[in-house]
Chain A
Amino acid sequence: MTATTIQTAEGQPASASLPRNVLLAGARTGLPVILGFAPFALFIGATVAESSMNNVAGWAGSWLIFTGTAHVVAIQLLDAGAALTIVVGTAAIVNLRLLVYSAGMATPWRSAPTWFKILGAYLLVDPTFAVGSHYAEQTSDETAARAFYLGAAAAMWACWLTLVGVGVAIGPTVAPLLPGDTVILLALVALVVPAIGDRTTRTAAAVAVLVALPASVLPMSLGPFVAGAVGIAVASTLDRDGAIADDAEPAP
């Protein structure tokens, strides 16, 4: 497999000898990522402000849940007067993809202390997983990988909570001015491109996109989870059968 290279905000390879430096490198890499999701955070804040829910309770979802999609779905359902079981059940289905992220970080964090596993798991969402898993692939130093993840994820967490709070305060005014969908898509592109390092990962991504297009009609936002699972399954099968050769492998 061709090694992917994560670069810092300055465009330099994110490597440092001291964990503190790696923590800071992680934070510098994480901040622009989460800023890409700023319009989404503002939108969530605006949704809270415009709902009948108490603003503090609505904002608390940003740290209680810490996944934007489930948060906004929960706010909308609560505002519509849905039963508690429906709200919790729907959000639980929307969040199913987090199981994949947990499995993905299990190996890099195998030797981590329990406190890190709990804290790392709490901070594990789409962008933190993307940044953390890429860096873990890039380095053999598990301590550095964990420090980088923690720096990036903590910076993203603090920034996310702040942005949702700003959204509650001024979201209804500012959110319409930002091309929210475009910014989120660009942020996702920026995260996925470095993760595509060889033909098998390209296959996984291509299959996932193709399946996601029709799968988006599935209820309760199940589409991305199903499409991602199919992408992983197809790429794994082709990889196992040798139908796709890694770019980095020498020709026979």
Chain B
Amino acid sequence: MTAFFALGAIGLIGMAYKSVFVLAAGSRAFPPRLDRALRFASPAMLAAMIGSMLSPLGRGGAQITPAMLLALLAGGLVAHRKRSIGWTLSSGLTVFWLVSMLGFG
């Protein structure tokens, strides 16, 4: 019961975060400066999550291996060329498994 209550409370706070601007904005537009800044939200927040995972300092950081780095490089190149999530994942994972099989995992 305690777990349900805690998870529900976290969910409600998360819902408040997610809806505050969406509902508060109504039919009004944000100031142009804020509107322009918000187009950086997606690349900045996603890149920050990548940087955080790659950091050797954080507790939640990934364990970086040559296979992982090569997989990310390959995935990044394919993402740039194809802009396709499926291609990015499949090419990156193929490189990861190939390099791991060669003993660099």
Which among B14, B25, B30 has the highest number of chain A CB atoms within 10 Å? B14
- The CA of A126 and the CA of B41, in the complex, are separated in Å by 11
Interface 1/0s, chain A 115-138, versus B by CB < 8 A? 001101110101001100110010
CB neighbours of A172 from chain B (8 A): none
Q: Which residue in B2, B8, B19, B35 is a CB contact (below 8 Å) of A118?
A: B19
- The CA of A28 and the CA of B94, in the complex, are separated in Å by 22
- A201 B43 Cβ-Cβ under 8 A: yes
Q: Taking the complex as formed, is A100 at the interface, i.e. its CB lies under 8 A from any CB of chain B?
A: yes
Q: Taking the complex as formed, is A159 at the interface, i.e. its CB lies under 8 A from any CB of chain B?
A: no
Q: Taking the complex as formed, is A88 at the interface, i.e. its CB lies under 8 A from any CB of chain B?
A: yes
Q: Taking the complex as formed, is A44 at the interface, i.e. its CB lies under 8 A from any CB of chain B?
A: no
- A188 B46 Cβ-Cβ under 8 A: yes
- A217 B10 Cβ-Cβ under 8 A: no
Task: Kindly identify, within residues 1 to 34 of chain B, every residue whose CB is under 8 Å from any CB belonging to chain A.
Answer: 2-11, 13-15, 17-30, 33-34
- A182 B92 Cβ-Cβ under 8 A: yes
- A66 B6 Cβ-Cβ under 8 A: no
A32-B86, A102-B21, A181-B53 are known contacts. Are A107 and B38 too (CB-CB below 8 A)?
A: yes
- The CA of A74 and the CA of B80, in the complex, are separated in Å by 36
Interface size class of B (residues with CB under 8 A): 35 or more
- B47 A204 Cβ-Cβ under 8 A: yes
- B54 A95 Cβ-Cβ under 8 A: no
CB neighbours of A225 from chain B (8 A): 48
A53 CB to closest chain B CB (Å) equals 5
Chain A residue with the shortest CB-CB distance to B45:
A228
- The CA of A183 and the CA of B42, in the complex, are separated in Å by 19
A32-B89, A65-B14 are known contacts. Are A209 and B39 too (CB-CB below 8 A)?
A: no
- B46 A126 Cβ-Cβ under 8 A: yes
Q: Which residue in A29, A74, A201, A214 is a CB contact (below 8 Å) of B85?
A: A29
A193-B79, A224-B45, A240-B33 are known contacts. Are A95 and B13 too (CB-CB below 8 A)?
A: yes
Interface 1/0s, chain B 55-90, versus A by CB < 8 A? 101101111000110011001100110111111110
- In the complex, given contacts A122-B15, A122-B19, A204-B44, what are 13 additional A-B residue pairs having Cβ atoms less than 8 angstroms apart? A64-B4, A88-B9, A106-B22, A110-B28, A117-B23, A181-B68, A183-B89, A185-B62, A189-B75, A205-B47, A214-B55, A228-B45, A232-B37
Pull 16 A–B residue pairs with CB atoms less than 8 Å apart, ordered by A: A65-B7, A65-B10, A96-B17, A97-B45, A110-B26, A130-B42, A181-B53, A182-B96, A186-B71, A190-B84, A192-B43, A193-B83, A213-B51, A215-B55, A227-B52, A231-B47
Chain B residues close to A by CB (< 8 Å): 2-11, 13-15, 17-30, 33-55, 57-58, 60-63, 67-68, 71-72, 75-76, 79-80, 82-89, 92-93, 96, 100
